[in-house]
Structure 1
Amino acid sequence: MSHFTATQFARSGVIRCDAAIEDVFPLLCPKREEEWVPGWECETIWSKSGYNEEGAIFRTRKPFGTELYWTTLRYDLPQKAIDFLIVAPHRYQFRFTIDLHVEREQALLLTFTHVFTSVSDEGNQFLAQYREEDFAERLKHLETLLNHHLKNITT
């Protein structure tokens, strides 16, 4: 039997948006992302509301081609925090937290933090290809999409 050694690393970055927290918070849901992320598809496996809530489970495959299971550990508007555990079976898992900070009226900072841990040699290979620049580019793209969506729904 070969010896497997897990790898772990973290990525963090900030998205800025000009909107009230009440408008943004509900959009931070794997299912609701279909409304504002082109090509995004999400299946709700379990949720009383059909959307994000504590204990909800979702499955995504697109746009990245990897089957991911999302479990919402925390969905807390008063504390301005969302916490997911996301699992790519037999590859890796990552903790995904979103902390929201009200910068000023109609302005938010969303801190996205991912902590990846491989669970197999295949996961180690996959994670070795995920560079810091890729994460920064994805966040910038999400920021653009979110702000565009918020502008269009409020005008």
Structure 2
Amino acid sequence: MNTVLSDKKVAEMQQAGPQYLRRVITHRQTFQTTPEKLFPLLCPTTEFDWMDGWHCELIYSKSLYHEYNAIFKTSYFNLDETWVVSHFEPCRVIEFVRVSEHVSIKVDARICDNLDGTCTGSWIVNATALTAQGNDALAQMNPENEPIGILIDALDHYINHDEIKPLPDGIFNKKG
């Protein structure tokens, strides 16, 4: 197989270096509940129940809840985004690909049953710039200070108290 053209292109890209930035955010938390109770809350429809200011437009889902290949839109952290569920294993794994004009974000969420009435959630968020403006936004990002922890804390509060915890201003565009 002749790979001269692709080898040449790879060499050019290696010499130029990465054009767009990527930031990785991780978060891990143990919840006082089972995966069967936690996992359904990781859904654009059920997030209305626990996430202050949440709103989304469901584009496609047979069940109207989270499922493989479901698509929805949000104005999440003041970015208009389209989300696609790219991997789905009930009570264990959900992965989303989120795309906005300037940034693409891959969210991998894994839920591990601790077999003692608790479970541990692990999130890995890969944010990749798609444009120069995306590079600017990611250059200002400090992964250690990203608000995923605020949202996970709100989820934990809902699990423990069955009520919505108010979120700081500016996380969502409040469109109703």
Q: TM-score range by the shorter chain?
A: 0.7 to 0.9
Alignment of 1:5-154 (within 5 A): 5-62=19-76, 64-77=77-90, 80-89=92-101, 91-135=102-146, 138-153=147-162
Aligned to 1:122, the other structure's residue is in SS state: helix
How many residue pairs get aligned? The number is: 146
Counterpart of 1:72 in structure 2: which amino acid? Answer: V
- 1:148 is displaced (CA, Å) by 2.0
- Deviations along 1:77-99, one digit per CA (max 9) or x if unpaired, are 26x1111111012x010110001
- Deviations along 1:5-39, one digit per CA (max 9) or x if unpaired, are 21122111102211011111111012221211101
**CA distance in structure 1 between the partners assigned to 2:109 and 2:70 by the alignment:** 16
- 1:146 is displaced (CA, Å) by 1.3
TM-score (norm 1): 0.86
- Deviations along 1:20-70, one digit per CA (max 9) or x if unpaired, are 1111111101222121110111110110011110000011114x2110111
Aligned to 1:104, the other structure's residue is in SS state: coil
Q: Could you tell which deviates more after superposition, 99-108 or 37-46? A: 99-108
**CA distance in structure 1 between the partners assigned to 2:29 and 2:67 by the alignment:** 22
**CA distance in structure 2 between the partners assigned to 1:43 and 1:86 by the alignment:** 14
- 4+ residue stretches of structure 1 with deviation over 4 A? none
Counterpart of 1:87 in structure 2: which amino acid? Answer: V
Larger radius of gyration: 2
Flag the structure with higher strand content.
Answer: 1
Aligned to 1:67, the other structure's residue is in SS state: strand
After superposition, the CA RMSD in angstroms is 1.8
Identity %: 26
Aligned to 2:56, the other structure's residue is in SS state: strand
TM-score (norm 2): 0.76
Kept after mapping to 1: 8 A contact 2:129/2:138: yes
- 1:129 is displaced (CA, Å) by 1.8
